[in-house]
Amino acid sequence: MQIHTNKDLSTLNTLQLRSQAEHFVELHSPHDLLAVLGDSQLSKVSWHILGGGSNLVLPSVVKGLVLKIANQGRELIHEDQEHWFVKAQAGEVWNEFVQWTLQQGYWGLENLSLIPGTVGAAPIQNIGAYGVEVKDTLWEVTCFDLQTGNLKTFSNKECRFSYRDSFFKQEGAGRYLVWDVTFRLPKKNTLHLEYGDIRKELDRQHTEANPRTISRAVIHIRQTKLPDPQVIGNAGSFFKNPIVSKELRDSLLLKHPDLVSFPYQETQFKLAAGWLIDRAGWKGKKLGPVGMYEKQALVLVNHGGASSDDVWKLANQVSLDVKNQFGVEIEPEPIRW
């Protein structure tokens, strides 16, 4: 284990923001973490946990210690008549893990193909796409308690999942470091085709729906609509889809018949934040070195040299304009350090 000082984080966050960590260490094994916990100097500074850097807005200087999760491994640990139980280490790249499950013939994660980030970040954010969320198949999460150094296992229920949220973003924030995640994947295929353009893309490819073709369709759709972080800095979908009452959704429909919405609960609807941002006039519009992507208004992009202040200035203005025009509040999805 090597401790770095003044570590450049510019290539370790997908927004490509200029950022530097006062102290930085990669964790490949439990021994590495225990060594950090036992260091009298490092234990006194603030800690930040870094996965793939795909859902972060970093300041120019990150004070304290950045813990980069780098443990690797994935395996089938158990199966019964109805499910496969697959464990992945937190440092695994999420999409590589998803593709591995499909290659092994394990279904259930295909709609979550090509989401950036690591396995360890998936339960924290309760990542989701095309009608599926991590909580739908997650079985348990193993974490290190950074206060005690002990391992603790959380069941699906104990993770307290909600839309793009979990216990680890709320009460457990900063205390628990996700080390591995176990998924319970169904042996009976339950295909989710109702969201986005999946059916249309399958028709375009003249192929029948199965987990692998759905994954390919999702990858094609995402590559068509979303910018590659290697080419232009971005953190994927920057705003959460707002959840509103049926009354507000119905009143908006009267004024905007093409409003994009989906039933969420009996009396609530989820609105497409990208549609709101587009109609508010921000699709393809810049504010300094940042802007909303020209092909997908939900994605905030760094055109080069942006700082966190630039990002939040744009995000606040977009939120304000959506609020003024539609009476709906949209919240940023990335975590702010």
CA dihedral 166, 171, 172, 173 (to 10 degrees): 90
CA–CA separation, 331 vs 316, rounded Å? 9
DSSP per residue over 26-78, as a string? EE-SHHHHHHHHT-TTGGGS-EEEESSSSSEE--SEEEEEEEEE----EEEEE
Q: What is the CA radius of gyration of the chain?
A: 20
Distance (Å) of CA 279 to CA 6, 271, 272: 42, 13, 11
C-alpha count within 13 angstroms, C-beta hemisphere, residue 19: 27
- Active site members: 164, 237, 333
Query: Which DSSP letter does residue 297 get?
Result: T
* Length of the chain in terms of residues written: 337
Q: Which of 248, 108, 258, 250 is nearest to 188 (CA)?
A: 108
Determine the Cα–Cα distance for residues 124 and 166; give it in Å rounded to an integer.
Answer: 6
Q: CA triplet 167, 66, 91: central angle to 5 degrees?
A: 65
**CA 10, CA 18: separation in Å to the nearest integer?**
5
Angle at 225 between CA 254 and CA 90, to 5 degrees: 110
HEC string of 71-113? CCCEEEEEECCCEEEEEEECCCEHHHHHHHHHHHCCCCCHHHC
Ramachandran class of 88: left when φ > 0, alpha when ψ lies in -120 to 50, beta otherwise: beta
| Spatial separation of the C-alpha atoms in residues 167 and 160, rounded to whole Å | 5
